A and B are shown apart, each in its own frame.
Chain A
């Protein structure tokens, strides 16, 4: 009935989630391509989703799963808007290098 086997402890899921999240952070900081940066954000979001689900399972509460749905929804919306922005930026500046998109400077 359960996908998560009873013997796999919660900590393992959390460690996996932390590892995924760290990868996302590193990717976000290190990569220069805007699309890769965007993918890193998705990675972080899903790492958090994983820990939510794990906790929800552990404590038999449905709230964590509801949160996950919200996060996925926001992520989908964010993907749509973010990709639109990326396309717009590329049309104007012909580049996706994060270091050169610095119009927010004073």
Chain B
């Protein structure tokens, strides 16, 4: 009855690409590298589309009257027959699970991933590490699809760590640049902190449920409807720590702005569209745990809302085009966490999808600008690019409208769904909604600021001669722009109905009346338009006003420009003490003092013994012979003594022998 969807091929194809390009890439012609690097992800995408088609047919025809249909029912499980880990009572299968949630996520990952691969062909053209770049990008897709398809939390953790590795490799892709190498390390280390929380969460889950697979956990929770809070809260908070690390939320968001040192398509794929949303995906995947803990959900919501507004304010004053986008990514991820926190998982995933479209688009457009200007990333040196880069300009405009939440672009629908879900959650929800609304204003403000500074007005560096990007870069821009326009038209109702079996919250969800929903939507759009107006006023009509405002509020401006001094604070209270402890206590006292002392002592004993024993090694043949004879005599004596008790008695024995 079930046709195989070949789920295992979805991660394996990019992995083959990684191996091919990683091992042979430097010896293959560039066209072949491109073909391997782009076509294998495309094949993966095709498999995902095939899975989507097959399962959708079932969904459409699974009425009682039309009988069984020869297609696949969700969730579809594929597992290796042999267990992955078989440790006494713990048995972990190497299993992939395809349900509505992982299918939507896979469509985004492989679809947007493929488009960005195509873009990379143009962007990375001529880079000496071309093959290395594509092999890493394919490696990322491999781990990301493993993360998404994983049927148990341990396999998910493997993918989770793997995407962290790929992220590290790609942030530090231009490792000759010290800042890029540093940024890679920073991302890796900050993520380790979150991963520790995730790991502890996994151990606690194992202790609580005795299994690591999602489905049995869900079943056993469903069998005990009363269990609530307690250990579940602790587990959820541990998982949340993991999610804040990967998804760049407070307090672990600091690595993401620095991650912009990587190539721009990497920022688009890993640090905007897919990997950083893994935390949101993980919460949605384990939502049956979060549903049982009000405290954990509230924490998720507060973390999300705080991150959203916090990052948005920083984004207002950044001058690096990619950093503006990075802070906007953090802020948008905050929205998704906010949605998870009010148990509106479908809304979170909906925003994840639309965000993947428009944020990938914004990054790729920014990459096109940077490409056109020969590596220039400073917004203050851009301007007037509208006529020079028409395709980039129009697609970027779509992206800006989408992220600002202007009707009818994609961001409007998903952001509206989140704000609406928050508004309906009582008094606390109303304040979350208000924070979200202010963030929407700030989002529109900083995005239109970027738009005005980069594309409108007069060129601020007249000697630059920008040129439009090649077709391989323009085509992805257009595709993503189309998706950003119409990606939201599915509508949250249909979307959450589709995701329902996988993510429907196990609790009563308030529903909005049509009138209230309309009012909330109008409020959101008005706020976005207000943000646009302010940006228009500041950056088009009175371009010297921002500087005046900064001069009028020097303390506030300095605080924002220095990103609230978070890096400095972390440096002072965590990094510095750690370094001092490592250098003086661990380095001098423990390493040099105790461990070194023991080593020196042992070496001293050995060399002293050697000095004494080397006197035997005189080189004198007769002395060797004498020791040999003495040794032989000693052995002889030793053999005779136990027999004859004392050695004069051995003469007795000899005498007996003689007398015989």
**A→B interface (CB under 8 Å):** 9-12, 14-15, 25, 28-29, 32, 37, 98-99, 101-106
Contacts and interface: CB of A to CB of B under 8 A. Distances in A.
B2 interface: no
Contacts of B625: 28-29
- Chain B: number of interface residues, binned into ranges: 10 to 19
Contacts of B614: 106
23 contacts: A9-B658, A9-B660, A10-B657, A11-B657, A11-B660, A12-B658, A15-B658, A25-B629, A29-B622, A29-B629, A37-B621, A98-B620, A99-B620, A99-B622, A102-B618, A102-B619, A102-B620, A102-B621, A104-B621, A105-B618, A105-B620, A106-B614, A106-B619
B544 interface: no
A10 B620 CA distance: 38
Interface in B152-206: none
Contacts of A103: 619
A36 B629 CA distance: 17
B626 interface: yes
A60 to B, nearest CB: 17
Nearest to A28: B625
A5 to B, nearest CB: 17
A44 to B, nearest CB: 10
B607 to A, nearest CB: 14
Interface SS majority for chain A: helix
B313 to A, nearest CB: 75
A9 B656 CA distance: 12
Interface string B592-615: 000000000000000000000010
A14 B657 CA distance: 10
Interface in B636-660: 657-660
A6 B660 CA distance: 13
Nearest to A25: B629
A25 B657 CA distance: 23
Contacts of A28: 622, 625, 629
A105 B619 contact: yes
Contacts of A29: 622, 625-626, 629
A9 B660 CA distance: 7
B330 to A, nearest CB: 68
A28 B626 CA distance: 9
Given A9-B660, A11-B660, A14-B657, A101 B617 contact: no
A99 to B, nearest CB: 6
A29 B621 CA distance: 9
B658 A104 contact: no
Contacts of A14: 657
Nearest to A34: B621
A43 to B, nearest CB: 14
Nearest to A105: B619
Interface string B227-247: 000000000000000000000
A104 B616 CA distance: 12
Nearest to A12: B658
Interface string B399-436: 00000000000000000000000000000000000000
Nearest to A18: B654
A25 B621 CA distance: 13
Interface in B63-87: none
Contacts of B617: 105-106
Contacts of B619: 102-106
Contacts of B618: 102, 105
Given A25-B629, A106-B614, A11 B658 contact: yes
Contacts of A25: 629
Contacts of B657: 10-11, 14
A29 B627 CA distance: 10
Contacts of A10: 657, 660
Contacts of A102: 618-621
B658 A101 contact: no
Contacts of A101: 621
A2 B622 CA distance: 41
A9 B626 CA distance: 32
B612 to A, nearest CB: 14
Contacts of B658: 9, 11-12, 15
A24 to B, nearest CB: 10
Given A9-B658, A15-B658, A104-B621, 17 more contacts: A9-B660, A10-B657, A10-B660, A28-B622, A29-B625, A29-B629, A98-B620, A98-B621, A98-B622, A99-B620, A101-B621, A102-B618, A102-B619, A102-B620, A103-B619, A104-B619, A106-B614
